[in-house]
Amino acid sequence: MAESGVASRRACEQIILDSRVRINGQPAALGSKVNPFQDAITLDGRRLRPRRKLYLALNKSRGCICTRSDPENRPTVYHCLPPEWKNLYTVGRLDWDSEGLIFLTNDGEFCLRLTHPRFGLKKIYRVSVEGRVKDEVIQQLAGGARVGGENYQVLKVSVVERFERQTVLEVELAEGKNREIRRLCEAVGLQVNRLQRIQIGSIKLGSLPLGKWRTLTGSEIKSLIAGL
């Protein structure tokens, strides 16, 4: 029922307890086993049908937020989607001032598995920072830091480009806590000018334009689950 968009799982349990659901004409009970493609499941006499699961990759632009609405009327990732896909939810978040790869889906299990900290799904970010960064500072960044009572850890840091006025780094994380890279950079004295997520698991952002989306292929979805 939850997968069909009726309500949350907890609310669906109460709907079943209220005897509003029937399976092949018989009252449903909590824990009843059904085949949604063979059994007739009804709610208040209306037949429920399984909802097609969607998995999207979106290149989020800077200044766009990952919520359905915003009291400040800032654009959201949902402005990039067709109206009929407003029921999708983001798999994790990107800050409003960050950009890059983010997934959206209506598959709750997929979302939970990809965002649970114990699975440690790899994420790679391209980070542009102010000035020519010395090797010892990069080593500090790679060592992680404790900021505000919380530990932030980095899997890998590599230099992409290094100029007098700007250094471009690639930073690999296993979790991706709220504003983690920005807090790590601040802890070692680096000013972030641009932060872009370029890879989640085995899926790369590639040439996907800003503000555009594409569907994940079956093999990409399997590779994400297999990598956990």
Return the CATH number at 141. Answer: 3.30.70.1560
93-113 average pLDDT score? 92
Considering the domain architecture, whether residues 131 and 195 belong to the same structural domain is answered as yes
CATH code of 20's domain: 3.10.290.10
Distance (Å, rounded) from C-alpha 49 to C-alpha 69? 28
Considering the domain architecture, whether residues 129 and 176 belong to the same structural domain is answered as yes
User: Mind telling me the catalytic residues?
Assistant: 95
Backbone φ and ψ for 84, nearest 5 degrees, come out as: -75, -5
Q: What is the DSSP letter of 66?
A: S
Secondary structure element (H or E) that encloses residue 112, with its range: helix 108-115
CA dist 77 to 26, 185, 199, 216, Å? 42, 26, 18, 17
In this prediction the pTM is 0.80
Distance (Å, rounded) from C-alpha 78 to C-alpha 80? 5
Considering the domain architecture, whether residues 214 and 103 belong to the same structural domain is answered as yes
Find the domain containing 27 and state its range: 9-47
Q: Are 75 and 66 in contact (CB under 8 A)?
A: no
Give tens-digit pLDDT for 3-61.
666 776 778 889 999 999 999 999 999 888 887 768 889 999 998 876 789 999 999 99
Residue 186, pLDDT above cutoff 90: yes
Give percent of the chain with pLDDT exceeding 70: 96
In this structure, of 14-18, 68-72, 200-204, the range with the lowest mean pLDDT score is 68-72
Considering the domain architecture, whether residues 159 and 131 belong to the same structural domain is answered as yes
pLDDT of residue 32: 85
Residue 131, pLDDT above cutoff 90: yes
Backbone φ and ψ for 89, nearest 5 degrees, come out as: -130, 155
